[in-house]
Amino acid sequence: MFPKEAEAVIIGGGVIGSSTAYYLAREGIDVVLVEKGYKAGEASAANAAFVWSITRKPGIDIRLAMHSFKLHRQLQRELEMNFEYVHNGGLLVIQNDREMSYVEAHVRKRTEDGFPLEIIDAKQALELEPLLSKEKTIAAVFSPIDGTTNPIFLGAALNLQAQKLGAKIYHHTEVLGIDVAGGKVRGVTTNKGTINTNIIVNAAGCWGNSIGEMVGLDVPITPFQLAMLVTEPLPPCVSHPIMGASYMVEEDTGKEGKLGCGLIVSQQASGNLLIGASWRDAGYDKRIGLGPGSGKLIQELICEGKTAISLDELNLSRFYSKR
């Protein structure tokens, strides 16, 4: 039977929504998650599975990433389903002097902040990843804390554990409207019925603005298409998540298509290679690594009214103050 009330309703069943459901259920909160499609069926599944720090920017980006890294390791112990988290380091491959100059400055700043980044020469890079081009690779950045996960398995593992803790999860359940009275949320209307609640989490990803409009908020999210190639299962051939340094340079400078091919590559435990190229800086990184940290912070905000790391830089008001 579809629930008529809940302490909290989460809209969106990606990794952030599923993480939030898990952490809220763990705290004994009566939580319902509604997803218009299927779990981790949208952006959470459309990425190269990186748990990544090398190209993170200072401020909330790197703080949230480090918080999420810690939670990935904890979730390995807490979740009953294996989500193929591999924590063995990552490589940013440098192919020309321009990339080297840019990356050296970045690494210098990050190491001053205490992050364990190291520039290694081409020989060391090829020892780690023998399939790298001997002719084009001049150096690489190695981070021992990076790795990969399986985003689809992670979403499923979070869903499974959240349900065991009492969360109710409904797929193919579309939100049609949100009831607001006296400036406060009172309920959510879906195609399956209405749930009375005082707390709603908008975890709808690129549909977040549509949900925001239901309560009179403009959430400035602009979706864009990504491209990723998934191969058939292959024998092990890529040991680390790999990113071309031009990906980082293009993302930071916005010089589309001017600096070469910024491919990203990783290999899943099943043998599938994930190969992609998308570098647009949208203000919030959709790589899977931030998901658990985001969900945990939302749970803290709901349950405690404060968070382990400051979220001031992510306040929605930052957009309105510029208008």
- Mean pLDDT confidence for 277-283: 51
Of 151, 149, 59, 137, nearest to 100 (Cα)? 137
* Domains 1-86+147-219+285-318 and 90-144+225-281 fall in the same CATH topology: no
Q: How much is the pLDDT for 33?
A: 98
CATH of domain 1-86+147-219+285-318: 3.50.50.60
Please say if the pLDDT value at position 154 is more than 90: yes
pLDDT for 119-152, tens place per residue? 999 999 999 999 999 999 999 999 999 999 988 8
CATH H superfamily, domain 90-144+225-281:
D-Amino Acid Oxidase, subunit A, domain 2 (3.30.9.10)
Q: How much is the pLDDT for 278?
A: 55
- Mean pLDDT confidence for 311-315: 85
Q: What is the pTM of this model?
A: 0.89
More confident residue, 41 or 70: 70
Q: How much is the pLDDT for 261?
A: 54
Q: How much is the pLDDT for 248?
A: 76
Q: How much is the pLDDT for 312?
A: 86
Domain ranges of the chain: 1-86+147-219+285-318, 90-144+225-281
More confident residue, 262 or 203: 203
More confident residue, 61 or 190: 190
Residue 72 φ/ψ, nearest 5 degrees: -55, -45
